């Protein structure tokens, strides 16, 4: 048995916190001396206090730790796996923020914040495609959707040529969403048998598509929408008319440097009805 002072030194937890843990019934001493009221702890309680310390260092508040300590081993592992995914998502989001910050610093330093993108209008033909459409957590998860898609193709022994056109379609047209985004990954394929879990369909032709080439890092794509807004402002008879497509041309799969990446963004546009043009 260890008195509270000894246990404090062995566990690296202050006596004040040990008393507090006792009061809230997070960690009660093994015994209390009936005469002196001294708290007595055992060696077997050290793993428990170490678990509490780890959870505390991870940012959990005391009440959350109390609930977690009630879980059995399997439930606790499941919970940790869920939290791991949450943290990974936060890391990706913060990495994206960091890249945006670095891009902004570079742009300000070089006075190139307003990047110039050329908007071209072209007609897109009908395509026969095979695709996988899902709602995914956010746009960072698109890579995993592509992996799932190509795994399904591989399982069906379908191996498309490297020259086959592929792109992503973003189906959320009412507004921009941060989470639960509706994305479809697409492969142009004229002749393909049915594959479980995948869709074979025909994409309609788009008579007028605003096409913008984006050179360099994927983060540069954000600036495209500013350029499109400028173009729409200069051409008030047009409005956005459908789902955006993002076509990877060069990327980490065939280029070593991000400065050599090339992505085409396609945004369908349509002429406003004559009635709309008179509305202020």
Summarised one tens digit per residue, pLDDT across range 92-120 is 778 867 776 776 676 566 654 455 678 99
**Beta pairing, strands 181-188 & 166-170:** antiparallel
Return the number of other C-beta atoms located less than 10 Å from residue 150's C-beta: 17
Q: What is the CATH number of domain 2-69?
A: 1.10.1660.10
pLDDT at residue 280 in the model: 43
pLDDT at residue 201 in the model: 92
Element (H, E) at 10: helix 4-11
User: Running DSSP on this structure, what letter comes out for residue 205?
Assistant: P
How much is the pTM? 0.58
Map out the domains of the chain as residue ranges. Answer: 2-69, 75-113, 119-277
Calpha distance 70→78 (Å, rounded): 14
Contact of 26 with 18, CB cutoff 8 Å? no
pLDDT of 91 higher than 90: no
Return the number of other C-beta atoms located less than 10 Å from residue 49's C-beta: 20
The CATH-assigned architecture of domain 119-277 is Alpha-Beta Barrel (3.20)
Residue 152's pLDDT band, with cuts at 50, 70 and 90, is very high
- How open is the CA angle 217-152-263, to the nearest 5 degrees? 20
Beta bridge partners of 202: 128
């Amino acid at each position: 048995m260890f008195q509270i002072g000894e246990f404090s030194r062995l566990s690296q937890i202050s006596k004040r916190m040990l008393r507090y843990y006792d009061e809230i019934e997070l960690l009660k001493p093994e015994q209390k001396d009936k005469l002196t009221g001294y708290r007595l702890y055992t060696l077997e309680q050290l793993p428990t206090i170490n678990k509490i310390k780890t959870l505390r260092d991870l940012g959990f508040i005391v009440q959350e730790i109390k609930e977690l300590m009630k879980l059995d081993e399997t439930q606790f592992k499941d919970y940790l796996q869920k939290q791991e995914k949450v943290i990974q998502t936060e890391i990706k989001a913060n990495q994206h923020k960091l890249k945006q910050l670095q891009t902004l610093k570079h742009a300000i330093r070089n006075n190139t914040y307003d990047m110039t993108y050329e908007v071209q209008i072209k007609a897109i033909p009908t395509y026969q495609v095979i695709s996988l459409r899902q709602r995914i957590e956010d746009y960072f998860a698109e890579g995993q959707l592509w992996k799932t898609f190509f795994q399904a193709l591989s399982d069906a022994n379908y191996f498309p040529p490297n020259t086959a056109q592929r792109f992503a379609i973003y189906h959320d047209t009412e507004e921009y969403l941060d989470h639960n985004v509706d994305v479809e990954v697409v492969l142009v394929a004229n002749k393909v048998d049915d594959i479980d879990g995948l869709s074979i369909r025909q994409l309609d032709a788009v008579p007028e598509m605003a096409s913008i080439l984006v050179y360099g890092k994927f983060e540069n794509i954000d600036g495209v929408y500013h350029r499109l807004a400028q173009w729409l402002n200069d051409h008030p008879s047009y409005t956005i008319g459908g789902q955006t497509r993002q076509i990877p041309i060069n990327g980490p799969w065939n280029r070593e440097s991000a400065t050599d990446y090339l992505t085409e963004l396609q945004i369908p546009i349509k002429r406003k009805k004559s009635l709309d043009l008179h509305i202020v």
